[in-house]
Chains A and B, each alone.
Chain A
Amino acid sequence: MLSFIFRRLLQSVFVLLAVSLIAFSLFRFVGDPVAQMVGQETSIEDQEKLRERLGLNDPITTQYARFVGNLSKGEFGFSYRTRQPVSEMIISRMAATLELGTVSLLISLLVGIPAGIYTALKRGGVLANVLLVTTLIGISVPTFVIGIFLIYLFGVELGWLPTFGRGETVPIGWWQTSFLTLDGWRSLLLPAITLGVFQLTLTMRLVRAEMQDVLKTDYIKFAMARGINYRSLYLNHAFRNTLVPVITIIGLQLGGIIAFSIVTESVFQWPGMGLLFLDSIRYVDIPVMSVYLVVIALMFVAINLLVDILYFAIDPRVRLHSAHE
């Protein structure tokens, strides 16, 4: 187990190095950074000085080594647009995105898994079919349309929930949380639902398909023939066996939610990393964009490591296999 985690961490380092190389090339080769930093009236000599000071005249390998070195020390440089340190900007936005992602994941799991099990067991039932069809609508309508529709219904017509921003937040150290205020929760609800609908449909259909497969297996038939009560049969015997593929997909999706919540964040003006990324693109704020890339890659790597560790918890065959090695 430990050697497995160690090996995965080693692999992760290579993944991150590769992503940082892409981020670095973005930084250095998409246009001239100096030209974007300075105004039109700056003299060529001053530009040259700035270039020298930023180390842009050093060999490419030195520059890349410095870039990776700075990243590993947590020095992410400064934004072209706001002149703030990039690390501060990302951290202040990260809390918002992570909270949004977590809540939408919870919504999708808490609704998607029971709905998936239910629709697998009641095949062809009225409620099961209604669930399948309505969630299909959810997955076929683009996210922003759902967001706008929710804003219109709950924000404008009914006036129950706020339509933009995070509402009131409470600082816990450097982390600004909206979990501790009613206003924060009210603001969180609509964007979280918008983001969660897609994931919900996917989870539900995946759980349903896996459940249907597992219910056909001999060990479920055998458990049925032994008169094991239906509750334990479905939840303990059958559902547990669907977990490995379900967790794999959910893990990948969670990474996607966090990384690409851009549309939702922009619809709800949610001050998260997605919105920051959008603004950075608009102003060609390359330092922010490249750090964003690396941070997202780090998250994907971390989530996938977590998923792999969960396999160990779920499936004894994986545990044993690695013990043999």
Chain B
Amino acid sequence: MSELLNINDMSVKFPTRFGEYTALDSIDLAVKAGEIHGLVGESGAGKSTLGAAVIGLLPSPGYISSGKIDFSGKDLTRLDQQSYHRLRGSRISMIFQDPQTSLNPLLTVATQLVETIRQHSDINPLDARSRAIALLEEIGLYDVEQRIDDYPHQFSGGMRQRVVIALALCTDPELIIADEPTTALDVSVQKQILELIRTLCTERQLGIILITHDIGVINEITDHVTVLRSGRVIETGTTGDVLGNPSDEYTKALMAAVPRLDKRLDRFKNIVAEDLLDSEDNSWRLPSASAEFASQWLLAEHQREDSRSSDAGPVVSVEHLDVTFARGQPSWIKTRANFKALSDITLAVRPGEILGVVGESGSGKSTLAKAIVGLVSPSAGTMTFRGEHLPPRLKRHRNHVARRQIQMVFQDPYSSLNNRKSVEQIISEPIRFYGLANDEKLIRKLVASVLELVEMPQRAMLKYPHQFSGGQRQRIAVARALVARPEFLICDEPTSALDVSIQAQILNLLKDLQQIYGLSILFISHNLAVIWQMADRVVVLKQGELVETAETEQFFRAPSQPYSQMLLSETPSLELIQ
């Protein structure tokens, strides 16, 4: 079979104030009809840029500086804007990452489908509508006749992604570029969507370029895979070959950094030599500040407390906890319709253990964290901290001991650090607030030391959050949580916004800190493989209810509840990787 798309020696450049930046460097790529070609790589590798270049929507001021994109015999780089725009939708289409944002919220599904169909073929609105209905049925939507006139927000995430796929398919394109099509979805929905993409690809003989950072997805459905790094092709071949027998060092390291369900590791392998440790950054140091100093300072507190409470009662326990959110505005006439985010949750975190919390989106994982840390008021139930009653949200006074001893690391390091404050101000704030040190010199020394402890250069304290990458920001967030000398740390999806290599580093760091300081951690993640690597025990939540509590080993060998079994079976396997 001849190739549908053949990219030949293509480079993409972005002119900037500091000269040209090469986003893609002599890329070769071929996609056949009826084949799913995976593009995998970490953020900044140029995966999305490659997709945008093929469909002719490179963000300004980027341009294709050399090479050819041969699409069924035509060179796309020579097309003028107008004919390119006609090609989009009719022959090449695209599926975006987040179904929440890729549909126009103000237009009905029917309007968007009919408009797209009529844009590319000369048929009347009624025929277009019946075609849309037929397509939605094929895609797996129920009650299509009634639901087609609904607006996007009336559909669930998975259904919305099906609508997105229908929109991409409604004009019978030959090539589809799917940019992270399942990243925003739960595993169970992800599995269905991936199966749908596979079926459509085979039945309609589509060529699909599947862009993802998730090796699991690659393993699950692609035929060929190309590994990108910093705009270059590192390795390409059939999926079995690349995953099972990688020839390049980077690919090998990438595979090793992926958390897996079948092997438990003590530490992840670090992929990248840390680029942040350049000489300029390292030369700046505060005298006598060091990781050892931070370590001693943090431990001093613990030893004092250990002698006080040596009995092994739980650090935090939660009994019959309910959290109810009110829907809509209060009214005199009707009682408020309420939404129960958590109901009857009972769990305990033992000293020095990592308790993993898993569940799909909407299962109440984050609500649980917020209730414990005091951001959300529970409607019923009790919480205790080291055997003492833990007052809920507003009743927990700001100098209550738990305010300091329970700290939290949030999911998105881009929004959890104040961009207007320097790293020094961010990290020293808890020290000052809790009065842990008063001497200015000591505070500075502590900040520098704790940065070193989380493997950041001391110089970082002079900079602002926007000067750091996601992984570095998350380290700063961890440092900020640590300086409060917490007993109990809550990590809410601490790595889900990060690349696998960075994820590996952060997970290693958390694990080390936990072992050294005997921290107890509540570790929330939707990623079962991460939980398997990190947690001692696992708690499964489903729609606000506690489904199962088990030791990690036992949970992953033989989960007792059907829901847990389903979660496990739907996580993409990595069987091709050695």
Tally of contacts, chain A with chain B, CB under 8 A: 89
**Given A222-B164, A325-B328, residue A314 in contact with residue B106 (CB < 8 A):** yes
Distance (Å) between the CB of A309 and the closest chain B CB?
A: 16
Q: Give bound CA distance, A318 to B211, whole Å.
A: 35
As a 0/1 sequence over residues 310 to 340 of chain B, the CB contacts with chain A under 8 angstroms (1 = contact) are 0000000000000000011101001001000
A222's partner among B94, B108, B120 (CB-CB below 8 A) is B94
Q: A226: which B residues are within 8 A, CB to CB?
A: 88-89, 93-94, 116, 119, 167-168, 171
B107 sits at the interface (CB 8 A):
yes
Which of B97-105, B219-227, B447-455, B548-556 sits within the interface? B97-105
Q: Contact at B89–A227, with CB atoms within 8 Å?
A: yes
Q: Contact at A225–B88, with CB atoms within 8 Å?
A: yes
Interface residues of A in 305-319 (CB under 8 A from B): 314-317
A324 sits at the interface (CB 8 A):
yes
B428 sits at the interface (CB 8 A):
no
**Given A224-B88, A227-B88, A320-B153, residue A232 in contact with residue B105 (CB < 8 A):** no
A324's partner among B93, B102, B104, B328 (CB-CB below 8 A) is B328
B101's partner among A219, A229, A314, A324 (CB-CB below 8 A) is A219
Total interface residues on A, CB under 8 Å, equals 27
Distance (Å) between the CB of A5 and the closest chain B CB?
A: 14
Q: Contact at A228–B105, with CB atoms within 8 Å?
A: no
A223 sits at the interface (CB 8 A):
yes
Q: A223: which B residues are within 8 A, CB to CB?
A: 104
Q: Contact at A217–B101, with CB atoms within 8 Å?
A: yes
Taking CB as reference atom, which chain B residue is nearest A219?
A: B104
Taking CB as reference atom, which chain B residue is nearest A237?
A: B104
B488 sits at the interface (CB 8 A):
no
Q: A316: which B residues are within 8 A, CB to CB?
A: 105-106, 108, 151, 153
Q: B102: which A residues are within 8 A, CB to CB?
A: 218-219, 221-222
As a 0/1 sequence over residues 63 to 90 of chain B, the CB contacts with chain A under 8 angstroms (1 = contact) are 0000000000000000000000111111
B20 sits at the interface (CB 8 A):
no
Q: A237: which B residues are within 8 A, CB to CB?
A: 104, 107
A228's partner among B98, B106, B116, B164 (CB-CB below 8 A) is B116
A8 sits at the interface (CB 8 A):
no
**Given A226-B89, A227-B85, A324-B337, residue A219 in contact with residue B103 (CB < 8 A):** yes
Q: Contact at A228–B119, with CB atoms within 8 Å?
A: yes
Q: Contact at B171–A315, with CB atoms within 8 Å?
A: no
B57 sits at the interface (CB 8 A):
yes
Q: B107: which A residues are within 8 A, CB to CB?
A: 236-237, 240
Q: Contact at B151–A228, with CB atoms within 8 Å?
A: no
A241 sits at the interface (CB 8 A):
yes
Q: B104: which A residues are within 8 A, CB to CB?
A: 219-220, 223, 237, 241
Q: Give bound CA distance, A324 to B334, whole Å.
A: 12
Q: Give bound CA distance, A241 to B120, whole Å.
A: 24
Q: A241: which B residues are within 8 A, CB to CB?
A: 104-106
Taking CB as reference atom, which chain B residue is nearest A222?
A: B102
Distance (Å) between the CB of A206 and the closest chain B CB?
A: 18
B96's partner among A222, A230, A320 (CB-CB below 8 A) is A222
B154 sits at the interface (CB 8 A):
yes
Q: Contact at A325–B329, with CB atoms within 8 Å?
A: yes
Taking CB as reference atom, which chain B residue is nearest A316?
A: B151
Q: Give bound CA distance, A194 to B106, whole Å.
A: 35
Distance (Å) between the CB of B206 and the closest chain A CB?
A: 15
B55 sits at the interface (CB 8 A):
yes
Interface residues of A in 111-170 (CB under 8 A from B): none
Q: Give bound CA distance, A316 to B86, whole Å.
A: 30
Q: Contact at B98–A218, with CB atoms within 8 Å?
A: yes
B195 sits at the interface (CB 8 A):
no
Taking CB as reference atom, which chain B residue is nearest A321?
A: B328
A317's partner among B57, B86, B88, B105 (CB-CB below 8 A) is B105
Q: B89: which A residues are within 8 A, CB to CB?
A: 225-228
Q: B96: which A residues are within 8 A, CB to CB?
A: 218, 221-222
Taking CB as reference atom, which chain A residue is nearest B90?
A: A227
Q: Contact at A225–B57, with CB atoms within 8 Å?
A: yes
Q: Give bound CA distance, A99 to B180, whole Å.
A: 55
Q: A230: which B residues are within 8 A, CB to CB?
A: 85
Q: Contact at A315–B106, with CB atoms within 8 Å?
A: yes
As a 0/1 sequence over residues 53 to 65 of chain B, the CB contacts with chain A under 8 angstroms (1 = contact) are 0010100000000
Q: Give bound CA distance, A230 to B82, whole Å.
A: 10
Q: Give bound CA distance, A321 to B119, whole Å.
A: 32
B3 sits at the interface (CB 8 A):
no
Interface residues of B in 140-181 (CB under 8 A from A): 151, 153-154, 164, 167-168, 171
Taking CB as reference atom, which chain B residue is nearest A225?
A: B94
Q: Contact at B119–A320, with CB atoms within 8 Å?
A: no
Taking CB as reference atom, which chain B residue is nearest A224?
A: B57
Q: B327: which A residues are within 8 A, CB to CB?
A: 324
Q: Contact at A222–B119, with CB atoms within 8 Å?
A: no
Distance (Å) between the CB of B337 and the closest chain A CB?
A: 7
Interface residues of A in 218-263 (CB under 8 A from B): 218-230, 232, 236-237, 240-241
Q: Give bound CA distance, A89 to B108, whole Å.
A: 50
Q: Contact at A320–B151, with CB atoms within 8 Å?
A: yes
Q: B55: which A residues are within 8 A, CB to CB?
A: 225
**Given A237-B104, A316-B105, residue A227 in contact with residue B57 (CB < 8 A):** no
Distance (Å) between the CB of B268 and the closest chain A CB?
A: 32
**Given A232-B115, A320-B154, A324-B328, residue A225 in contact with residue B93 (CB < 8 A):** yes
Q: A317: which B residues are within 8 A, CB to CB?
A: 105, 151, 153
B87's partner among A227, A315, A320 (CB-CB below 8 A) is A227
Taking CB as reference atom, which chain B residue is nearest A4?
A: B329
Q: Give bound CA distance, A203 to B333, whole Å.
A: 40
Distance (Å) between the CB of B132 and the closest chain A CB?
A: 13
Q: Contact at A240–B106, with CB atoms within 8 Å?
A: yes
Distance (Å) between the CB of B529 and the closest chain A CB?
A: 28
Distance (Å) between the CB of B182 and the closest chain A CB?
A: 15
Q: B151: which A residues are within 8 A, CB to CB?
A: 316-317, 320
Q: Contact at B153–A222, with CB atoms within 8 Å?
A: no
Q: B88: which A residues are within 8 A, CB to CB?
A: 224-227
Q: B334: which A residues are within 8 A, CB to CB?
A: 325
Distance (Å) between the CB of B399 and the closest chain A CB?
A: 40
Distance (Å) between the CB of B100 and the closest chain A CB?
A: 9
Of A217, A227, A240, A241, most B-chain CB atoms within 10 Å: A227
**Given A225-B55, A225-B89, A228-B89, residue A218 in contact with residue B153 (CB < 8 A):** no
Distance (Å) between the CB of B335 and the closest chain A CB?
A: 12
Q: Give bound CA distance, A241 to B94, whole Å.
A: 22
Q: A320: which B residues are within 8 A, CB to CB?
A: 151, 153-154
Interface residues of B in 343-371 (CB under 8 A from A): none
Distance (Å) between the CB of A172 and the closest chain B CB?
A: 38
The chain B residues found within 8 Å of chain A, CB to CB, are: 55, 57, 85-90, 93-94, 96-98, 101-108, 115-116, 119-120, 151, 153-154, 164, 167-168, 171, 327-329, 331, 334, 337
- 11 A-B pairs within 8 Å (CB atoms) are namely A221-B102, A224-B57, A224-B88, A225-B55, A225-B88, A226-B88, A226-B171, A228-B119, A229-B85, A241-B104, A325-B331
| Sample of 8 further A-B pairs with CB below 8 A, known A225-B93, A227-B89 | A219-B101, A221-B57, A227-B90, A228-B119, A237-B107, A315-B106, A320-B154, A325-B329
Closest 3 pairs between A and B when the two form their complex, measured CB to CB = A227-B89, A227-B88, A226-B89
